[in-house]
Chains A and B, each alone.
Chain A
Amino acid sequence: MKQFFEGSHAVAETIRLCKPGVISAYPITPQTHIVEDLAKIVADGRLNSQFVNVESEHSAASVVLGGVAAGVRSYTATSSQGLLLMAEVIFNIAGMRLPLVLTCANRSVSAPINIWNDQQDSVSLRDAGWIQLYAENIQEAVDFHIIGYRIAEDKSMMLPVMVCMDGFILTHGIETVDMPTQEQVDKFLPPYKALYKLDVDDPVTLGALVDPESYMETRFAIHKTHEEALSLIPKIAADFSKSFGRTYNGLIEKYRLDDADRVIVAMGSVCGTIKDVIDELRSKGKKVGLLKVTSYRPFPAAAICDALKDVSKVAVLEKALSLGALMPLATEIKSAFFGRKKSPKVISSFVAGLGGRDITKQSVKDVFRLLTAKELDGEFIDLKPELLKENYE
């Protein structure tokens, strides 16, 4: 049934439908509405779950680690500094092959402290072994959590999934959402049956010390699983489409790409703005398009190359950066094309929207305007040069 939902409320209701037995979280803006709603849902008896209020995000991640290690589906959510405080546990959860789902309400990182949206938090944890899915709108945020549990708990995966949704823009925005029914979710997402768990009737040792004889294979195995996820994610997404009637590829989405000669590549909610601009420019005869990257990890290099191989000019627009280096998503797209026969003539890289600065339709038009034969590396959009003047005298 279609209803107006605040993004956080919609995600909380979705998690209720996924029936985690252990939920643990520590409050951080803009994640708070999700966990407040879940606390109330549990308090009202609408979900049978242990809601554990902890003293830090490090412990929130550790509690859900323990919950899923004991064989129970678990859930947590965080943002920004919270995700960074969890970082040690984030790596650990993937290394232990524990299938969690975590919502990252994307927010900038300190210093300076700033509570608004960008994607530096989750992008900085791209190498942790988690699958990362980026939602464009609230409907996707809802659907990706359900898909996320299916991916994570698939016996061939056993990897955690981070569903990334832009803070405030999606967590506090209100949209029409087709909220799945319990029957639909139950049919698509069977109860979690752990491949291994802490069970007194069948004792196992988890988290052993692994020396040089075996450590490398554990990392190789995660890497291999990510490769396999590139074919599994579209299959699960197709399965989802059958049950819920909404179609996702799960890795990428092509928007008006077919004859496009200039294309923006982006992740998350900015894709909605870009689509509007594309529609406008298309109505004026401009051949422009969007390639939305949904799955940042695993990185769908082949699918991206295939989608962009006939495009003349590509602009990679990011809400994250790698300070002191080329921009993260642009770097990976360029390296994916390296040595390929067919590739764009220009792959320019743009940074926008850091710390919650609005990426307006004009910002997106500026990206298209700057997407010329001259390749740009890390061009900042909407920068204010007047704020950069320094005087140490």
Chain B
Amino acid sequence: MSDMHFNSGHTACSGCGQSLGARLVLEAAGKNTIIANNTGCLEVFSTKYPQSSWGVPWIHSLFENAAAVASGIESALKYLGKKDSVNVIAQAGDGGTADIGLQALSGMLERGHDILYVCYDNEAYMNTGIQRSGLTPFDSNTTTSPPGSHSMGNIRPKKPMPEIALAHGIPYVATASVAFVKDLQRKVKKAISIKGPKYIQIHVPCPLGWRHQPNLTVPVSRAAIECGLYPIIEYEFGKLIAVQRIRQKPVEEYLKLQGRFKHLMKNPDEIKKIQDIADNNIEKYGLRLESQ
């Protein structure tokens, strides 16, 4: 095992946003960290027996229970009197967080465990072959929300996971992106410095599922933020303390980079609906740069 906490040599696809995100999170959290990981791409590509990318203690149990397993680990550390010197991170993809793992996550947040929960949001079930999740964006083409003569793709907007986490009254909630490394790592460090449950949701493009070139992972995520579709926000003790302000670009600039929105390109009515989602985000969180 090298000095890295999350080592290369795993089997992630080229351009994988989640592997980049996981490396950045653990780099910021440091070696005194124990991770509980839900089932998903990250677990599969990083731990194919007998190899493992993880240089820190790491456990995977099931698809939906990382938050509960982490609760048990945190309780054990408290019992041993070691909690203050060890960070516990529970992590999952968007399906493992917003759908099948939501109950366990809610329990973990409500019980007040000193755990950082990280959701790597690549906006669909990528590990099983690009099926829609509760965090799949409106009109997105996935294998279970295909566009057709009776459908424009995914019928609902993203579930507001940061707000759901925030509603538990937890001390820290933030979103981040692999396109903004310093911001992401600052948030991880800040989160683990605060006692109690923390929730960070990271935008991690998936070239395979979103159908963009692997070398565009960072630009695609940046474009999502710059158009207002993925607000970068930070709440501490229930108050919105920071947002990433943007000079708003049209959503089309973001959509056109990806095959999952290709079916919308000649449909201005649908693009208008997505533009409305972005505009609402900008209003809601005050994302517009004041010079605009």
Residue ranges of A at the interface with B (Cβ–Cβ < 8 Å) = 21-22, 24, 48-50, 52-56, 58-59, 62-72, 74, 88-89, 92, 96, 198-200, 203-211, 214
CB distance A69 to B60 under 8 Å? no
Q: Chain A residues near B48 (CB, 8 Å)? A: 208-209, 211
In the complex, per-residue mask of B173-193: 1 if CB is within 8 Å of any chain A CB, else 0: 000000000000000000000
Give Cα distance in the complex from A52 to B36, angstroms: 17
- Which A residue's beta carbon lies closest to that of B104? A59
In this complex, the member of B52, B58, B73 whose beta carbon has the largest number of chain A beta carbons within 10 angstroms is B73
15 inter-chain pairs at a CB distance below 8 angstroms, sorted by A residue, are A21-B76, A48-B79, A52-B111, A55-B107, A62-B61, A66-B36, A66-B61, A68-B72, A70-B34, A72-B76, A198-B57, A205-B52, A207-B37, A208-B48, A211-B49
Give the residue of A24, A56, A96, A209 whose beta carbon is less than 8 angstroms from that of B61.
A96
Interface centre among B33, B36, B65, B103 (most CB of A within 10 A): B65
How many residue pairs between the two chains, A and B, have CB atoms under 8 Å in the bound complex?
A: 161
- Whether B61 pairs with A65 at a CB distance below 8 angstroms is yes
B249 lies within 8 A of chain A by Cβ: no
A65 touches B69 (CB 8 A): yes
Decide: A70 near B49, CB < 8 A? Known: A56-B107, A58-B65, A59-B104. Answer: no
A200 close to B62 (CB less than 8 A) = no
> Interface residues of B, CB < 8 Å — how many?
46
CA of A54 to CA of B74, assembled, Å: 14
Q: Is the CB of B79 within 8 A of A66?
A: no
- B8 CB to closest chain A CB (Å) equals 16
For B64, the closest partner residue in chain A by CB is A58
User: In the complex the two chains form, is A56's CB within 8 Å of B59's CB?
Assistant: no
Closest to B77 in A: A70
Whether, in the assembled complex, B43 has its beta carbon less than 8 Å from a beta carbon of chain A, the answer is: yes
Residues in A with CB closer than 8 Å to B86 are 200
How distant is the Cα of A68 from the Cα of B72 in the complex, in angstroms?
A: 8
Question: Does A74 lie within 8 Å of B49, measured CB to CB?
Answer: no
Please give, as numbers and ranges, the residues of chain B lying within 8 Å of A48 by CB-CB distance: 79
Q: Which of A21, A68, A209 contacts B49 (CB 8 A)?
A: A209
Cα distance A46–B137 in the bound complex, in angstroms: 52
A89 touches B59 (CB 8 A): no
Given A198-B59, A200-B56 in contact, is the A52-B72 Cβ separation under 8 Å? yes
Smallest CB gap from A59: residue in B: B68
A64 touches B104 (CB 8 A): no
> Which residues of chain B are near A198, meaning CB under 8 Å?
34, 57-59, 73
Are the C-beta atoms of A214 and B68 separated by less than 8 Å?
A: no
Contact A207 B59 (CB under 8 A): yes
Task: Determine the chain B residues whose CB is within 8 A of the CB of A200 once the complex forms.
Answer: 31-34, 56-57, 86
How far apart sit A65 and B64, CA to CA, in the bound complex (Å)?
Answer: 14
Q: In the complex, how many angstroms separate the beta carbon of A39 from the nearest chain B beta carbon?
A: 14
Contact A66 B107 (CB under 8 A): no
Q: Which B residue sits closest to A66, measured CB to CB?
A: B72
Q: Which of A69, A72, A203, A205 contacts B80 (CB 8 A)?
A: A72
**A52: chain B residues within 8 A (beta carbon):** 71-72, 75, 111
Contact A66 B47 (CB under 8 A): no
Task: Known contacts A54-B107, A55-B107; decide if A66 and B57 are in contact (CB<8 Å).
Answer: no
Known: A24-B72, A50-B76. A203 touches B111 (CB 8 A): no
B78 at the interface (CB under 8 A from A): yes
Contacts of B68 on A, CB cut-off 8 Å?
A: 54, 58-59, 62-63, 66
B55: interface (CB < 8 Å) = yes
**Which one, B31, B54, B71, contacts A59 given CB within 8 A?**
B71
CB within 8 Å of A: which of B86-123? Answer: 86, 103-104, 106-107, 110-111
A22 to B74, CA, bound (A): 10
Residues of chain B lying within 8 A (CB to CB) of residue A66: 36, 59, 61, 68-76
Are B62 and A89 touching (Cβ within 8 A)?
yes
Nearest A residue to B56, CB-CB: A203
A-B residue pairs, 8 tightest by C-beta: A66-B72, A62-B68, A70-B76, A207-B60, A21-B79, A55-B107, A50-B75, A62-B65
Check if B243 is an interface residue, CB within 8 A of chain A.
Answer: no
Residue from B31, B60, B75, B103 whose CB has the most chain A CB atoms within 10 Å: B75
Min CB distance A131 to B, Å, is 20
Additional 14 contacts, C-beta under 8 A, given A52-B72, A66-B59, A68-B76: A50-B78, A55-B106, A55-B107, A59-B65, A65-B69, A65-B72, A66-B68, A66-B72, A67-B75, A70-B76, A89-B62, A89-B65, A198-B57, A208-B60
